[in-house]
């Protein structure tokens, strides 16, 4: 955009924090902070270069010049239109006031003639303006009811009445405007309403300057308010960013503290539960001992001891008998298979003897009956 080096352009603005402040002031509509400019030095240099070519609203210098010229031209056109429109509305108000006075009081004939002539002139001028070709296009407007401006001009009042009206118009218009100005003065400062006309006229001459001064003060306050709003938004952003950092730091501290405290708390809980479990085990053992004491009385214990002694003695005799039988069985096994056949035959004969003895007992018992 320019042949001037970036470092030279940046040096014309300032260095460090001063440069950042000037860039932020040059671009108030940009949502950025000094931290953003510090973290992005190339972007900061670019903005420093742009400040030589654009204004605070982002318009270039040539475009700003053209815009100012267009605004001046527009203001001139507005003033012209406002001048003619104010005059027209003032004349309309004079006619309306005359109509109101005519209904409430008697009006001199010359005033009636003056206002009637002025009203007709205004109506004819308005109709001629509607019938004239457009001033903004090259096309002719279509005629209304087949009339043209010359035909409407024939409806003008008599020339002598018009000339007489023109002679009296400045004086009447001045009176009307003065009356309106005094009403504006009374509205602006109600305490001046009871003052004399001379004092009102004197104060009225300074009213325009005073209103202009107050307007400038209001615009200055509006500008200061806008700058304060931008500053407040920037400070809010900085505050929120710092607040987020503080919250993150607080979260980190809370997590670290919680981890440390949680370790100690878990250790204490573990010790507590271990002690509680040991206490429960001891209580269970004591309950078991109490149950045993309630279940086994001294008499039952002595009886159990006797039963135990008897069972042990029987167990010993059974074990001795088992050993003797095992010895006999071992001696029988030495005899071999022939002894096994003989033993089986013996068992069979023994079984038959038992069966016959049972039958004999049954028969004998039946015979005795």
Reference 154, options 127, 179, 181, 136; nearest CA is: 127
Q: What is the 3-state secondary structure (H, E, C) of 309-359?
A: HHHHHHHHHHHHHHHHHHHHHHHHHHHCHHHHHHHHHHHHHHHHHHHHHHH
Report for 42-46, 227-231, 324-328: range of highest mean pLDDT: 227-231
- Indicate if the pLDDT at residue 277 is higher than 90: yes
What pLDDT, on the 0 to 100 scale, is given for residue 145? 64
- What is the largest distance, in Å, between two alpha-carbon atoms of the chain? 187
More confident residue, 68 or 43: 68
pLDDT band at 258 (very low <50, low <70, confident <90, very high): confident
pLDDT in tens, 3-58: 444 444 444 455 556 777 777 777 766 767 777 777 778 877 877 787 777 776 76
Q: What is the 3-state secondary structure (H, E, C) of the chain?
A: CCCCCHHHHHHHHCCHHHHHHHHHHHCCCCCCCHHHHHHCHHHHHHHHHHCCCECCCCCEHHHHHHHHHHHHHHHHHHHHHHHHHHHHHHHHHHHHHHHHHHHHCCCCHHHHHHHHHHHHHHHHHHHHHHHCCCCCCCCCCCCCCCCCHHHHHCCCCCHHHHHHHHHHHHHHHHHHHHHHHHHHHHHHCHHHCCCCHHHHHHHHHHHHHHHHHHHHHHHHHHHHHHHHHHHHHHHHHHHHHHHHHHHHHHHHHHHHHHHHHHHHHHHHHHHHHHHHHHHHHHHHHHHHHHHHHHHCCHHHHHHHHHHHHHHHHHHHHHHHHHHHHHHHHHHHHHHCHHHHHHHHHHHHHHHHHHHHHHHHHHHHHHHHC
What pLDDT, on the 0 to 100 scale, is given for residue 92? 85
More confident residue, 159 or 146: 159
What pLDDT, on the 0 to 100 scale, is given for residue 369? 63
What pLDDT, on the 0 to 100 scale, is given for residue 137? 46
């Amino acid at each position: 955009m320019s042949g001037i080096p970036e470092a030279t352009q940046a040096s014309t603005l300032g260095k460090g924090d001063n440069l950042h402040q000037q860039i932020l002031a040059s671009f108030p509509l940009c949502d950025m902070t000094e931290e953003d400019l510090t973290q992005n030095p190339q972007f900061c240099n670019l903005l420093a270069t742009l400040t030589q070519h654009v204004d605070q609203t982002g318009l270039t210098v040539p475009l700003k010049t053209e815009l100012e010229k267009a605004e001046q031209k527009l203001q001139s056109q507005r003033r012209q239109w406002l001048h003619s429109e104010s005059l027209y509305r003032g004349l309309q108000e004079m006619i309306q006031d005359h109509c109101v006075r005519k209904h409430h009081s008697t009006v001199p004939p010359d005033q009636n003639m003056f206002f009637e002539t002025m009203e007709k002139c205004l109506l004819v001028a308005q109709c001629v303006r509607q019938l004239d070709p457009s001033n903004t296009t090259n096309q002719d407007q279509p005629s209304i009811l087949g009339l043209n401006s010359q035909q409407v001009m024939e409806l003008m009042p008599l020339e002598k009445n018009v000339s007489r009206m023109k002679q009296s118009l400045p004086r009447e218009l001045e009176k009307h405007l003065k009356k309106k100005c005094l009403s504006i003065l009374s509205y602006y400062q109600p305490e001046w309403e009871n003052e004399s006309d001379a004092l009102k006229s004197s104060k009225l001459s300074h009213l325009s300057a005073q209103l202009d001064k107050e307007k400038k003060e209001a615009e200055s306050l509006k500008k200061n308010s806008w700058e304060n709003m931008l500053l407040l938004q920037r400070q809010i952003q900085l505050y929120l960013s710092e607040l987020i950092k503080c919250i993150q730091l607080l979260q980190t501290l809370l997590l670290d503290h919680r981890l440390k405290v949680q370790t100690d708390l878990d250790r204490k809980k573990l010790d507590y539960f271990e002690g509680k479990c040991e206490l429960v085990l001891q209580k269970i053992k004591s309950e078991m001992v109490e149950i045993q004491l309630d279940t086994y009385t001294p008499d039952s214990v002595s009886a159990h001891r006797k039963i135990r002694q008897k069972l042990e003695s029987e167990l010993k005799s059974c074990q001795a008998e088992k050993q003797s039988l095992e010895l006999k069985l071992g001696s029988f096994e030495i005899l071999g298979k022939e002894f096994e056949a003989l033993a089986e035959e013996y068992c069979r004969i023994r079984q038959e003897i038992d069966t016959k003895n049972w039958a004999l007992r049954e028969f004998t018992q039946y015979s005795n009956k």
